[in-house]
A = this chain, B = another copy of it.
Amino acid sequence: MSKTNIIEKFESFAEHWSPRLIAECNGQHVRIAKVQGEFIWHTHEDADELFMVVKGHLTIRLRAGDVTLNENELFVVPRGVEHMPVAEQECWIMLFEPADTLNTGDQRSERTVTKIERI
């Protein structure tokens, strides 16, 4: 049992679109990621996904319209809702989702991370 400094965790890696696991809680993962550019359209059929911006700005494209998150803002993409995260500049995000959630949801691509590293 030890505490986790979120900023130090972000500073420990550089890759974009490569989520790291920083905490687990009731079968849910707390993940962090650095993102920049466009991700891919995908859906998590059985999982809500919470996005929180720690630094920068993140746009979550939805078929119904865009949601742009600034620092200290969060948004829950409900299960089954297609979405594509986009960040013009590097953005630091925190994610809450079930431990078995795949970053690319129903899509498989070179973006898919099958093994989340715990840091």
State the A residues within 8 Å of B (CB). 1-7, 22-26, 28, 30, 47-50, 52, 54, 62, 64, 67-70, 72-76, 78, 81, 96-98
Contact = CB atoms under 8 A, between A and B. Distances in A.
A19 B85 CA distance: 30
12 contacts: A1-B64, A2-B67, A3-B69, A3-B73, A23-B50, A23-B76, A25-B28, A25-B48, A25-B50, A26-B97, A28-B28, A30-B50
Contact of A23 (B25, B64, B74): B74
A47 B26 CA distance: 7
Contacts of A25: 28, 48-50, 76, 96-97
Number of copies of chain A assembled together? 2
B75 A3 contact: yes
B76 A24 contact: yes
Given A26-B28, A28-B96, A78 B1 contact: yes
A18 B5 CA distance: 25
Nearest to A64: B1
B30 A73 contact: no
